[in-house]
């Protein structure tokens, strides 16, 4: 009996080559991120991996990652949101009014800004879901409306500085309660715990896949790749601990990534969003309320854009009329580079995060070497085009 179970468990273990081919998109983007980081590490003379620059990299791209999580669900559902950059600016302006002009405390201001983002998402989602107006048109209108409202609320001027407690959202660091000498002990311990937890979760997920007959990689390949990932996490945590430790916004990012990974993989609403993007008519005929799903994806996007607006405002220490300009392009590009399909139904949270960091590393690296903004925009556009071509090529090849 035991030998029969063993053979049945091993029957869905595929070769390394087959496993990589079946997951070529994820591995391709991860390899691209590593190559880009190594390239800029050497080309900048070692500046990229310096602790202070790694910290800046996290701070500079945290809001892109936060919004990419929501944008991925919108794209998977078969829609797009062009208004997120303007929502960032508008919610940042509201935060400044609440905290600087009206002297509200951090918690009331934070909650009001999240609610404002959710209301904006609901207003746009209502027209898209229940009146079938194309999301491109609705959110393009929203982009113009909320950019105008930002200028109106701020009166065309900057408002700041923010109270210290509000700035901690983006510029604060995890307090060090463990004495490790020159190292930030708390951050180091959190890094070790995070690496171990990630390895254990990957192990459990592989065992579940084996039990359900889902194709898995050979155990040796699984072990090597997860040890490499754990090693990279430990290295990053060590480098950050030599400076000021983990930024608060990094913790926020990690919590959101874990939460949205769980939602998309393990919950009914997550599976329904993927079904919606794959075939809306069939999903509706199966008894699922597709209008409510679309509505909720835009509410979620609005709340995450509101959170990103507070992160950006706290980092700049003021609300500015131009805050959020062009952010929607980086967020959408991050999702497509990370493997989301423009036709909906396809995309992973990890892919969106990798795509966001590819954009972030390129921005950071090109700025360090002094490349002009004109060339930076051209390079990012070509990388986006290459990523989409790679995706289409693989789909055609598989067909």
Q: How many C-beta atoms surround the C-beta of residue 28 within 10 A?
A: 17
Burial class (CB in 10 A: 0-12, 13-18, 19+), 389: exposed
What average pLDDT score do residues 10-31 get? Answer: 73
Q: What is the pLDDT of residue 88?
A: 95
Average confidence score pLDDT of the chain: 87
Give tens-digit pLDDT for 86-108: 999 999 999 999 999 898 889 99
Given a cut of 90, whether residue 130 has pLDDT beyond it is yes
Give residue limits of the domains in the chain: 44-172+247-398
Given a cut of 50, whether residue 322 has pLDDT beyond it is yes
Q: Phi first, then psi: what are they for 246, rounded to 5°?
A: -80, 130
Q: Which of 5-9, 354-358, 394-398 has the highest mean pLDDT?
A: 354-358
Q: What is the pLDDT of residue 114?
A: 95
Closest of 80, 88, 140 to residue 116, by C-alpha? 88
Pairing type for strands 183-184 and 179-180 reads: antiparallel
Which pLDDT band, with edges at 50, 70 and 90, does 399 fall under? low
Give dist(CA 349, CA 72) in Å, integer. Answer: 7
Q: Determine contact, residues 320/90, Cβ cutoff 8 Å.
A: no
Closest of 83, 69, 174 to residue 122, by C-alpha? 83
Given a cut of 50, whether residue 54 has pLDDT beyond it is yes
CATH no. for 44-172+247-398: 1.10.3470
Give tens-digit pLDDT for 284-314: 989 899 999 999 999 999 999 999 999 999 9
- Residue 225 CB contacts under 8 Å (≥ 6 apart), including other chains: 217
**CB environment 76-108: b (16+ within 10 A), e (fewer):** bbbbbbbbbbbbbbbbbbbbbbbbbeeebebee
Q: Output the CA torsion sign for 169, 170, 172, 176.
A: positive
Q: Where are the beta strands (DSSP E) in the chain?
A: 179-180, 183-184
Helix (H, G, I), strand (E, B) or coil at 216: strand
Q: Determine contact, residues 340/346, Cβ cutoff 8 Å.
A: yes
Helix (H, G, I), strand (E, B) or coil at 376: helix
Q: H helices of 286-399, where?
A: 290-316, 327-337, 349-368, 373-398
Give dist(CA 90, CA 84) in Å, integer. Answer: 10
Closest of 355, 365, 166 to residue 248, by C-alpha? 166
Q: How many C-beta atoms surround the C-beta of residue 196 within 10 A?
A: 13
| DSSP-derived secondary structure for 61-88 | HHHHHHHHHHHHHHHHTT---S-HHHHH
Give dist(CA 329, CA 96) in Å, integer. Answer: 25
Give dist(CA 135, CA 79) in Å, integer. Answer: 6
Q: Is residue 104 left, alpha or beta, with left meaning phi > 0 and alpha meaning psi from -120 to 50? A: beta
Given a cut of 60, whether residue 10 has pLDDT beyond it is no
> Does the predicted model carry a pTM greater than 0.85?
yes
Give dist(CA 13, CA 123) in Å, integer. Answer: 48
Closest of 138, 127, 121, 77 to residue 290, by C-alpha? 77
Angle at 23 between CA 21 and CA 29, to 5 degrees: 110
Given a cut of 50, whether residue 248 has pLDDT beyond it is yes
Give tens-digit pLDDT for 329-353: 889 989 988 888 888 888 889 889 9
End-to-end CA distance of the chain: 40
């Amino acid at each position: 009996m035991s030998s029969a179970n063993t053979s049945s468990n091993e029957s869905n273990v595929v070769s390394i080559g087959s496993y990589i081919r079946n997951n070529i998109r994820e591995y391709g983007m991860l390899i691209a991120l590593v190559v880009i980081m190594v390239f800029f590490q050497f080309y900048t003379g070692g500046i990229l991996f310096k602790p202070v620059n790694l910290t800046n990299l996290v701070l500079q791209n945290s809001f892109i990652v936060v919004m990419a999580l929501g944008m991925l669900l919108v794209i998977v559902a078969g829609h797009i949101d062009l208004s997120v950059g303007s929502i960032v600016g508008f919610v940042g302006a509201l935060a400044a009014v609440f905290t600087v002009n009206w002297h509200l405390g951090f918690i009331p201001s934070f909650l009001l800004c999240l609610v404002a983002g959710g209301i904006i998402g609901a207003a746009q989602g209502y027209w898209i879901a229940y009146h079938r107006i194309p999301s491109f048109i609705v959110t393009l209108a929203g982009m113009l409306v909320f950019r105008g409202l930002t200028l109106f609320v701020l009166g065309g001027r900057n408002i700041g500085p923010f109270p210290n407690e509000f700035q901690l959202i983006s510029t604060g660091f995890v307090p060090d309660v463990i004495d490790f000498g020159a190292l930030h002990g708390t951050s180091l311990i959190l890094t070790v715990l995070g690496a171990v937890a990630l390895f254990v979760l990957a192990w459990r997920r592989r065992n579940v896949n084996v039990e359900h007959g889902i194709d898995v990689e050979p155990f040796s390949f699984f072990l090597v790749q997860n040890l490499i990932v754990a090693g990279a996490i430990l290295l990053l945590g060590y480098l950050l601990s030599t400076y000021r430790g983990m930024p608060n916004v990094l913790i926020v990012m990690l919590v959101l990534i874990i939460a949205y990974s769980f939602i998309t993989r393990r919950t009914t609403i997550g599976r329904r969003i993927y079904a919606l993007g794959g075939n809306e008519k069939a999903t509706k005929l199966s008894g699922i309320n597709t209008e409510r799903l679309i509505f909720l994806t835009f509410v979620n996007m609005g709340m995450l854009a509101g959170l990103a607006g507070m992160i950006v405002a706290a980092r700049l220490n003021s609300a500015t009329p131009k805050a959020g300009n062009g952010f929607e392009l980086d967020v959408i590009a991050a999702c497509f580079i990370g493997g989301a399909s423009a036709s909906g139904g396809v995309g992973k949270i990890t892919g969106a995060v990798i795509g966001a960091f590819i954009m972030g590393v390129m921005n950071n690296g090109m700025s360090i070497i002094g490349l002009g903004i004109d060339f930076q925009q051209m390079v990012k556009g070509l990388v986006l085009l290459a990523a989409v071509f790679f995706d289409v090529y693989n789909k055609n090849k598989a067909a």
